[in-house]
Amino acid sequence: MAGPAAPLRFSKMHGAGNDFVVLDLRGGAPEPDAELCRALADRHFGVGCDQILTVEDPLSEGAVASYRIWNADGSGSQQCGNGARCIAAWLVRDGAAARASASAGDGSFAVDSPAGRHAVWALGDGGYRIDMGRPDFEPARIPMRGYTSYQDQYVVDIHDTVIGFGAVSMGNPHAVIEVDDVDAAPLDSIAPLLQSSNAFPESANVGFAQVIARDRIRLRVYERGVGETLACGSGACAAVAVLIRRGLIDRDVAVRLPGGELRIAWPDDAATLSMAGPAAFVFEGEWNR
């Protein structure tokens, strides 16, 4: 008769308050199922987190590792900017990034995510800069339903509630709503409506953005499969991309979220967008299965 399963080791981390349970699955360890994800993410009976991140063997030549993302409800996700920085910090502490970083010459290394390959740079202050790729405004690739071409402002009427928003993919779908006061933004009422609308067949992360100055915005994000988070890295990238397209902000912007500040830069429309911010270890633990 088989004995009890070995404890599952994990790291608890956060990036600007967006928190994660990190599991090392390199070597072919089984992925967490939806039930385990929900149990780990539970803030009362589990570890507590917004998402579970799994460190896995690399998918592309020269990458240090790959990672996958599991939301608190057990569903999968394609991209997580704050999670990418935490994975980078985890790999640096683990030592896996050292050889790749040294061979690159500029201190960078690469990781693979469900959305593609990302270059990473350690900033020396506990922070990391991640190449997040190019924003994609094509409705079919966000994906959105019912639209054949890009619009600066999409409008939907859901249960007699009219919602105007910008939309972009950062490897995952985002809706961005401009507001005058982010503190008063109706996240709990508007975001679920938009996430469940026919416009977003795969749901979407919904960001509420307030422009403070040409080089500064405030942002709150209601993530699919999670709810409101203290920070959302891909959401910060999406908000900046939409607002740059509208000519409202510059191309190097500080984004203030409830959990901290991120720096987003998009040099020009043909360039990739980068995100810089903190990554912190909270504690190490074992989950008794």
The verdict on whether residue 288 carries a ligand-binding annotation is no
The verdict on whether residue 223 carries a ligand-binding annotation is yes
| SS3 assignment, position 154 | strand
Give the residue ranges of DSSP H helices in 53-118.
81-94, 96-104
Three-state SS annotation for 163-177: EEEEEEECCCEEEEE
| SS3 assignment, position 84 | helix
The verdict on whether residue 71 carries a ligand-binding annotation is yes
The verdict on whether residue 169 carries a ligand-binding annotation is no
Q: Are 175 and 167 in contact (CB under 8 A)?
A: yes
The verdict on whether residue 108 carries a ligand-binding annotation is no
Query: Which tokens belong to 71?
Result: 């939301």
The verdict on whether residue 210 carries a ligand-binding annotation is no
The verdict on whether residue 15 carries a ligand-binding annotation is no
Active-site positions read 80, 232
- Calculate the dihedral angle through the C-alpha atoms of 241, 247, 253, 258, rounding to the nearest 10 degrees: -70
Q: Are 167 and 142 in contact (CB under 8 A)?
A: yes
The verdict on whether residue 11 carries a ligand-binding annotation is no
Return d(Cα 148, Cα 132) in angstroms, integer.
Answer: 25
The verdict on whether residue 263 carries a ligand-binding annotation is no
Return d(Cα 282, Cα 242) in angstroms, integer.
Answer: 33
The verdict on whether residue 246 carries a ligand-binding annotation is no
The verdict on whether residue 18 carries a ligand-binding annotation is yes
List residues forming the annotated binding site for substrate.
18, 51, 71, 81-82, 172, 205, 223-224, 233-234
Which residues are known binding-site members? Answer: 18, 51, 71, 81-82, 172, 205, 223-224, 233-234
